[in-house]
Amino acid sequence: MAGSDTIDAAALGRWVRAFAAAVADNEEQLTRLDSAIGDADHGANMARGMKAVVAKLDEAPPANPNALLKQVGMTLVSTVGGASGPLYGTFFLRMATAAGDAETLDLPALGAALRAGVDGVVARGKAEAGDKTMYDALAPAVDALAGGGSLRDAAGAAAGAGTRRSRCRLARAGPATSRTERRAPGPGRHVRHAAARGGRRDAGLRAA
């Protein structure tokens, strides 16, 4: 897909697989982070969910972006426990709705789909910028893409910036708010940052 400005289901599938690999690589780290503020199961939950996502892709590769994103979202909702399943599931399901019936997505359409996904996370989790949640990593990545940055480098840099900015803030939403020390880094932001790094490592969103 070098030289192409459109993203098809196969390209999205590679991105999802890169995300799954990043989650697997960081499973212990995610669990360690969650142990400080939650039930110490975030890494296992996300790894289980993404393994199920990849298995579904292997069984029957979806024909278009809408079908792929919907399948990913529904699988995450049904296999990931706690709040993460509904949050990540909503992200992909809202992306699917925004993608519509198109066979491919150009960069503006991809940006709109990602924005819809982030808006879904906000609607479900009631988080805002600076609340020290996954939103603080997601929103800068989407803003970077909307601003014309590259799909991998700009989004990855923005996700990293969101993680760094929120590390020093007090949590105002999510499980960290129930802890005395609310500056502990949360696993939700870390897994999203891992996805950005996985996208840079893999070809990620490049058309076939």
Bridge partners of residue 55, in order along the sequence = none
Is the separation of the CB atoms in 141 and 134 below 8 Å? no
| 44 inside domain | yes
Mean pLDDT of 202-206: 50
Please report the pLDDT score of residue 151 as a whole number. 75
Range of the domain at 150: 8-201
Please report the pLDDT score of residue 153 as a whole number. 61
| 112 inside domain | yes
Which secondary-structure segment (H or E) carries 146? helix 135-146
With tokens 């929103």, the residue in question is 139
| 146 inside domain | yes
The closest of 114, 125, 31 to 86, measured between CA atoms, is: 125
Give the mean pLDDT of the chain: 79
Torsion angle defined by CA atoms of residues 184, 131, 85 and 53, in that order, rounded to the nearest 10 degrees = -80
| 24 inside domain | yes
| 3 inside domain | no
pLDDT category of residue 131 using cuts at 50, 70 and 90: confident
Please report the pLDDT score of residue 178 as a whole number. 45
The DSSP secondary-structure symbol of 29 reads H
Amino acid in position 91: F
| 61 inside domain | yes
Please report the pLDDT score of residue 148 as a whole number. 77
Q: Which residue has the higher pLDDT, 91 or 192?
A: 91
Please report the pLDDT score of residue 205 as a whole number. 57
Give the CATH number for residue 99.
Answer: 1.25.40.340
Amino acid in position 28: E
Q: pLDDT for 136-185, tens place per residue?
A: 878 888 888 887 777 776 567 666 765 565 555 444 444 544 444 444 44
CA distance 34 to 117: 24
| 2 inside domain | no
Total domain count for the chain? 1
pLDDT category of residue 7 using cuts at 50, 70 and 90: very high
| 208 inside domain | no
Amino acid in position 57: L
